[in-house]
Structure 1
Amino acid sequence: MNMTIEHHDPYRDKKITIEIAGIDLNFRAFQLDTKTPTGGKIAKAFGFNLDQPAYVMQWRDDGDLEDLRVQEEADLANGTKFIVAEADSTNRIRVEGEGFDWPSDTITGAVVRKLGRIPAERGIYLERTDEPDRPIEDLDVVKIKTQGVEQFRSRKPEVWELNVQGKKIASLTPVISVVDALTRAGFDPNAWIIILKVAGQPKRQLQVGDDIDLRTPGIEKVRLTAKDVNNGEAHAPSRDFRLLEVDEFYLDGLGLHWETRTSDGHRWIIIRDYPVPDGYTARSTMLALMVPSVYPQAEIDMFYAYPPLQRSTGAAIPATEATQFVAGFPFQRWSRHRGSIAPWNPRQDNVVTHLALVESALLKEVGE
């Protein structure tokens, strides 16, 4: 009968795993050969040498932070997480009413959230006495070396609203960038003159790099004016690509300013001051047609209008809800397509015949 003799390693039972983090509270696992590590041994495991002023704290399971001196043994029954920082003192803060001694002159919102075990859906605020409490984002860095004790509280975040060209957008922070505000409202920030209207104050033009403080009393709205609207006489029309000869001859005969533009990977014909029939709130519009790269073999489909066309009666126009940016302008897309009875024929269809489709579609919506 064979017998296996196991040799007991007296040191194996002494191996323990603890977690150590810097002041970012990103913990990593470290294995030590003792169940009673000292503060100095924990700092050494984290990479500190004897010449560095290591400040070691035990993050207890009950949420408290407890200093651990160099020669002091940690009681792992209270927790196996430790914080090591290059510091020789701490600053006092309070998070959700609980006091902490923090081994740094700064602290991030993310660390405050972890210390206070604050859920992600709640906002963090730095309490202030003579001014509104300051909202703290996770990436914000707060200086905490002050005469008093900085206090952090959490609450359901406030929602700030801003009217951008008639569309209301919500912000969880009281300061929003112009770029963010216009982008969320569906506008290209670089294509507009941006005006901020505040009650009781002169209108103020904003730049793309500006911020808007939504706490400003009397903020009413942001109004936009296109940078590029004119009567077509100030500059020569763009010709980014050529059309068929019959197309160009017809467009020239309309007596309207037209151009071909390449925008966001698409080819466009843009016709300014294109007349629309009675029954709309506008007498004309800027019309855009998307021209496929293999036109006329591929058909021109749908058409686009800026500003959006509306019936005089106020009734909604079906299949015009989508928006397409063309050269920085938000065009209203009219989803109108050829039927199976008269499909696109590259030998006879062109811009001329498609404009006939546009005209009939516009007339149909106002009952003519």
Structure 2
Amino acid sequence: MDIEHHEEPSGKRIAVEIASIDLNFQVFELDTSTPTGGKIAKVAGFNADTHPYVMQWRDDGDLEELRAQEEADLRNGKKFIVAESDGTNRITIEGEARDWPADEISGETIRKLGRISAERSIYLERTDEPDRLVEDGDIVKIKKDGVEQFRSSKPVVWELNVQGKKIISVTPVISVADALTRAGFDPDAWIIILKVQGQPKRQLSVGDEIDLRAPGIEKIRLTAKDVSNGEARTAPTREFALLEIDESYLDGLGLHWETRSSDGHRWLIIHGYPVPAGYTAIATTLALMIPPTYPQSEIDMFYAYPALQRATGATIPATEAVQVIGGLPFQRWSRHRGSIVPWNPQRDNVATHLALVESALVKEIGE
């Protein structure tokens, strides 16, 4: 490669920027305003024996090959890429075709060439395989038998409902502590319940993580860990036994529950039962009447103390009746199974009835 020199009559030196394929540009000074490709290569430390490939990165974003004897017009841009290469590979970035003087390219270089903002994700599109996410630190080997196509898009985000507040995550896995903090709750002050469609509610700990890609994730419900008048919590009352499956399920909720006989009936009482956002309270004491012949006889309706009210003030139908349980006035929710899916003693239990409770509470606030 012959190196040409065109001295400026005034002796003025011209600053240009030169980089290798990593696009980490450095400033060099030239003694001419019309440098050839050979001149640029020599300034960058190449000689003719290394077969340098020179490209001018124009201000309009195009890459233009600059041959050894060809003069560059610095009015079109003062950035140059010099690489040891005997040819180029064809790529497109955001639909714009470019020749690239290497067999591989990094995600960071693609972002710089395409002037793609950090807020957007880059994908490699190939017809014979799924689109591949390209991180800035990734290296993509360019296929020789086609044109590699790179496009950007807004990153995928995930939503999670935390006690009625929706938070957005740009990563598919979020820690429980982060989710609660971002929703404005102290992670250490609550019993944390994850609700997944078609599954029993599951208690989480502060150190757990939630994979938001898992199907059916609906929401996180919170119940205060300690609501008292300053006295120590007494041991729960167990005046009659439930089914083993019931007790195991209730223990898994992490809530304080009791069985009591009062006013001629048997009651399962669940303290601090979480209710959906849209009510004037976030939790209630929930009571279920357990028939003496349960599970052959069904659990019917449910009861809340204190009475639940919509935050809008609108009346909730079929909740006017009051049932006294242990001297306290519980609000009776007259909700019953229909004839399509009647009570089945082989299948139904406390867990399935609490699912009815949950759906009834959600229905009244239109969630």
- Return the TM-score normalized by structure 2: 0.47
Q: What TM-score comes out, normalization by structure 1 length?
A: 0.47
